[in-house]
Structure 1
Amino acid sequence: MVSTETQRHGPRVLTPQQVPEAAEVLRAGGLLAFPTETVYGLGADATDGRAVARIFAAKGRPAFNPLIVHVRDAAAAEAFAHFGATARDLAALFWPGPLTLVLPLRAGHGLSPLVTAGLDTVAVRVPAAPLARDLLRATGRPVAAPSANPSGRVSATRAAHVLEGLGDRVDAVLDGGACAVGLESTILRSGPPALLREGGLAAEEIEAALGHPLPRDVTPGKVQAPGQLSSHYAPARPVRLDVTEPSPDAAWLGFGPVKGDLSLSPDGDVVEAAANLFDHLHRIDALAASQGRDRIDVAPIPEAGLGRAINDRLRRAAAPRM
């Protein structure tokens, strides 16, 4: 177990050259925040129940909300999850990358029951970020890792966001700079495929690979996968969407021709907007606080491609607080 001495002095911030030290934090039962191409994850050894329990405590996360398990390659995932033919084809096409597959658990899988929140399935992915893959190889174990932020708050896309949100509740942060995608992974249920969460891989790309449209099941009555709570990704202030006119009592997050106080993408590029989303939500929330404004207004985002995933996160940010 990582000592309380580490916690009293705050988390260690590790460089990319310190991957062996980062892996040792995980093997010792500690919490490590690390960058993927999507967002920073709050990682723990997925086979260590005490370590996984620390994730829930650190985030203030409801115990019924499952976690994504990160592995170095598909072969590592096959040790604890069943792959049908379609899932295997999708993994071959989109792993490593921002796609999470929800798969049936194998008997004797060895994962902590906390990882799956009592379900008979597990959410798993192979991240594309080279630093994350180096870490997983060095750790040699599956790593459970939700986004490295307090539950329901804005996800972290920089090490500074992790430190601001979680502070000494994490033992160490592996600083790999800004996340390239900046939006959580797309989650797909296997057998038959259904979209559970929009994310960093556009649904159209999956549909093109499958050769048919994907049924959507993005907010079911029962939580089946991470990120399905209706109120999530929320700044401290209420959020109002699809705003095209400024209001004096709100900080305004723009997009394209709607400039705002800060813009997700002045050029109207949804890829740039996705990469900026969580960082800009942090920044606009801070701006609203500094200027005494009591709301965040957000410009319209096109409901297509990654725009759908951005709007999904924004609708959850704007939902009534749980």
Structure 2
Amino acid sequence: METKIFKPNQISEAAAAIKAGQLVAFPTETVYGLGADATNEAAVKQVYLAKGRPSDNPLIVHVTGQATVEQYAQPLSDKAQALIKAFWPGSLTLIFKLQPGALSPAVTGGLQTAAFRNPDNQVTLDLIKEAGVPLVGPSANTSGKPSPTLAKHVYHDLNGKIAGILDDGPTEVGVESTVLDMSTDVPTILRPGAVTEEELEAVIGTVRSTHHKVGATEVPKAPGMKYKHYAPNAQVYIVDHVTDWAAALKWAGQQDDAIGIMALDHTLSGLTLPQNAEFFSLGRDLPSASHRLFAGLRHFDLESPVKGILAQGFSDEGLGAAYMNRLNKSAGQVHFTKDQLL
């Protein structure tokens, strides 16, 4: 199969591929998603095959608004409607109980709930409208690898496996949406993202945040809860404190292989990079770091291969919760310690 690059003025062609049961990657404000007709079970199953994704890892359904959700979900609560009004279109995924038989188990992982999102990207909203169906849309990458923030990232992983990629340039947010479970008594954050716990509570009151680890035989309610995610080829080491960077750079210089460095521009002020290290800027603050995290991991995979990556950590608060959730998973919870020095 030849994977075609669709431009925004070719939405009709991309939609025709979707309607024909094919897979088309699409842009959102967070990362690129791998789209298929959510009402076409055969097409949905192809998403799992293309990504190499476990079939018990449920998919997020992308819609253009509340009316589509109401076709599939049980009646929405006042809190759910308030969240939709406040954050859609945007980086918030909401899990609802479904009407019986509303969506295929291929979409839901066999659960009686499904996750819905209204992305904040006009090109993709136009694609959904043109296709006339909601789209499943996990990140458009090989399962377990860093999420794609550029069309070329998608092409690298899925060329020849999908019909096309709708290219709308770089994504704006760079980390996936917040996933909030509205099927429980207390709304529960299953995956932190760009919409923070504080922002949610300002609209609906108390929410619960969970870092529940899903068991081997348990089906996760949301993506990213059970399986390894976001991992580049090189081992990532999280540098937790600015004061640790001098030791971290010393360790990098002791290695025989090339080492990648991912940090804010000012973090390494006054320090000298060893000759075997390459710097990838995370920008000037936490929002820019969140935006550039996956791009940096992809850079060291595709353009400048290294054997290890030192990446800056942040406080696990606000947007930092989303950043550290992704970074910890990409590193397999491995943090740099001074014990690594020779």
Query: Whole-Å Cα distance in 2 between the matches of residues 312 and 236 of structure 1?
Result: 19
Aligned to 1:258: 267
- The answer to whether the Cα contact below 8 Å between 1:32 and 1:173 also exists between their aligned partners in 2 is yes
Are the structure 2 counterparts of residues 294 and 288 from structure 1 closer, same or farther at C-alpha, using a change threshold of 3 Å? farther
Could you tell me which residue of structure 2 aligns to residue 98 of structure 1?
A: 91
* Equivalent position of 2:144 in the other structure: 152
Match of 1:22, SS state, is: helix
- What TM-score, normalized by structure 1, do the two folds share? 0.91
The equivalent position to 2:108 in structure 1, one of 112, 116, 127, is 116
Which residue identity is paired with 1:236? N
Identity of aligned residues (%): 39
Corresponding residue for 2:296? 280
- Pairs within 5 Å for 1:56-75: 56-75=48-67
- What is the count of residue pairs matched by the alignment? 307
Match of 1:154, SS?
A: coil
Shift of 1:170: 1.1
Q: Match for 1:17 among 6, 9, 26?
A: 9
Q: Secondary structure at the match of 2:5?
A: strand
Superposed, 1:128-147 pairs within 5 Å as 128-147=120-139
- The offset of 1:301, in angstroms, is 2.0
Query: Which of 35, 45, 48 is the aligned partner of 1:53?
Result: 45
When normalised by structure 2's length, the TM-score is 0.85
Shift of 1:87: 1.4
How large is the RMSD of aligned CA atoms in angstroms?
1.8
Partner of 2:224: 227
| TM-aligned CA deviation for residue 155 of structure 1 | 0.5
CA contact (8 A) 1:30 1:51 kept: yes
Which one of 234, 239, 257 corresponds to residue 237 of structure 1?
234
For residues 156-195 of structure 1, the aligned pairs below 5 Å read 156-190=148-182, 191=184, 192-195=186-189
Distance 1:218 1:142 in 2: 29
Which SS does the other structure have where 2:296 is aligned?
helix
**Partner of residue 302, structure 1:** 315
Superposition deviation, residue 51 in structure 1:
0.5
Aligned to 1:318: 331
Match of 2:190 in 1: 196
**Bigger CA radius of gyration:** 2
* Paired amino acid for 1:276: R
Native 8 Å contact 2:62 2:117 kept in 1? yes
Q: Which residue of 1 aligns with 2:82?
A: 89
* Aligned equivalents of 1:230, 1:203: Cα separation in 2: 23
Say whether the 8 Å CA contact 1:70–1:127 is kept in structure 2: yes
- The separation in 1 between residues aligned to 2:294 and 2:13, in whole angstroms, is 28
Partner residue in 1 for 2:201: 207
Contact conserved, 1:231 with 1:318, CA < 8 A, in 2?
A: no
Shift in CA distance, 320/272, structure 1 to aligned 2, threshold 3 Å: closer
Residue deviations 1:238-288, cap 9 Å, x none? 1111262211332111125324711212x2x21111111111111133465
Provide, for residues 67-86 of structure 1, a one-character-per-residue CA deviation record: whole Å limited to 9, x for no partner: 00001111101101122222
Contact 1:251 1:287 in 2 (8 A): no
Query: How many Å separate the matches in 1 of 2:212 and 2:189?
Result: 6
The yes-or-no answer on 1:107 pairing with 2:100 is yes
**Shift in CA distance, 320/207, structure 1 to aligned 2, threshold 3 Å:** closer
Secondary structure at the aligned position of 2:72 is classed as coil
Instruction: Give the SS at the match of 2:208.
Output: coil
Give, in angstroms, the shift of residue 229 of structure 1. Answer: 2.4
Paired position in structure 2 for 1:79: 71
* Cα displacement (A) at 1:152: 0.3
Q: How much has 1:218 moved relative to structure 2? A: 5.0
Confirm or deny: 8 A CA contact 1:252 1:284 kept in the other structure. no
Q: Which ranges of structure 1 fall in alignment gaps of 5 or more residues?
A: 1-6
Supply the distance in 1 between the matched residues of 2:23 and 2:209 (Cα, whole angstroms): 36
Conserved 8 A contact 1:68-1:146: yes
Amino acid at match of 2:327: L
The structure-2 alpha-carbon separation of the partners of 1:218 and 1:184, relative to structure 1 and needing over 3 Å to count, comes to farther
